[in-house]
Amino acid sequence: MSRFEKIAARLGDYGLDAMMITSAPNRFYVTGFASSAGMAIVTTAGSYFFTDSRYIEAASRGVNGCQLVESTREKPMTTLAEEVIVRHGIKRMGFEEFTTTVQVYNDWKEKLSCELVPASSLVVSLRGVKEEGEIASMIGAQRIAEKAFTEVLNFIRVGRTEKEIAAFLQYQMLLGGAEKMSFEPIVVSGANSSMPHGVPTEKQLAEGDFVTLDFGCVYQGYSSDMTRTVAMGSVTEEMDKVYHTVLEAQLAGIAAVKAGVTGKSVHQAAADVISKAGYGAYFGHGFGHSLGIDLNEAMGASLSYDKPLPAGAVISAEPGIYLPGRFGVRIEDMVIIKEDGCEDITLAPKELLIL
């Protein structure tokens, strides 16, 4: 079943006659075609994809399962959409409320003769459960990131700056086949590593620093995400304790993952380990987030996600401890949720590396 067909099959569940898809991630999910402009409309009687002259030729080679129509100045996408609405007698059409601006919504209200119904969750729910090909792309992205990590371990040394290491990581991922980065790499050292989303600076790595590297890349449209924390030269007794507490917490959270458990319970399994070690006040974010086309998708393993996690979802496993002004540690893998547990698709070693 194509993704157009999957969406069409769910329209009745949402009381819809059609679904309009306009965000770049969802357009890519439905069509398999990446572009900066386009609109898809899915109905039970057929589907449509509109794009302009910049992409129409490429789309004609790569988009299947729908009628492809070129938009022009004379016939913009709203006009083409209205033609579909009239042709199929559409009364209620879903739209992506989370990515639609007020200006665009008002334009649609003026030009489209049907009721517009917020329905982002229709596509979000489908995207949450990954198909075999999607998993393969994410594993490919992860292998590129892991190879870059292996290379960066040989590049890191006292005196290198955080920015230099971040640039090297990006270069290695692009060299390895990445399309782009999943996000700007986080490379923070020493006291900077106490900031979970710190930005690489001109700070030079020093003896005794922890260095946290959080990075990932996009391959075939899908993201990877991993974090490793390494030490420069030596660690104190407390640094060693914090590192191994985070590792124990991550393993506890991973052990709790399986289809049907809530994201909250997975988070709590890791948080309990950190709290028992006396660092509960220094773990302020969730255990993990779902990812795929986007780095952060709808589901998560956090206190705020009290819903069951489905088989086929991919989530990160990334607890951390951050001691303000001193140092921080985070370890992150990606896991595929299974009926009876999960599969960790991150192969990079997690023992404490002292370089």
Q: Using CA atoms, how far apart are residues 7 and 46, in angstroms rounded to an integer?
A: 11
Q: Above 90 in pLDDT, residue 262?
A: yes
Is 279 within 8 Å of 248 (Cβ atoms)?
no
* DSSP state, residue 186: E
| pLDDT the model gives residue 47 | 97
- Residue-wise burial string across 164-192, b where 16 or more C-beta atoms lie within 10 A, e elsewhere: bbbebbbebbeebebeebbbebbbbbbbb
The helix/strand count (H/E) of the chain reads as 10, 19
Q: Where are the domains of the chain?
A: 3-128, 132-344
Fold of 132-344: Creatine Amidinohydrolase (3.90.230)
For residue 19, pLDDT beyond 90: yes
Q: What is the pLDDT of residue 131?
A: 96
Query: How high does pLDDT run on average in the chain?
Result: 97
Is residue 1's pLDDT more than 90?
no
Provide the residue type at 315 as one letter. Answer: I
H or E stretch including 216? Answer: none
Nearest alpha-carbon partner for 326 in 260, 265, 241: 241
The domain 3-128 having CATH identifier 3.40.350.10: the answer here is: yes
Three-state secondary-structure class, residue 35: coil
Instruction: Provide mean pLDDT across the span 55-61.
Output: 95
Roughly what angle, to the nearest 10 degrees, separates helices 132-155 and 162-175? 130
**pLDDT per position as a tens digit, 281-323:** 999 999 999 999 999 998 899 999 999 999 999 999 999 999 9
Distance CA(34)–CA(39), nearest Å, equals 12
- pLDDT of 80-135, one tens digit each? 999 999 999 999 999 999 999 999 999 999 999 999 999 999 999 999 999 999 99
Q: How far apart are CA 13 and CA 8, in angstroms?
A: 10
DSSP secondary structure string for all residues of 76-139: -HHHHHHHHHHHHT--EEEE-TTT--HHHHHHHHHH--SEEEE-HHHHHHHHHS--HHHHHHHH
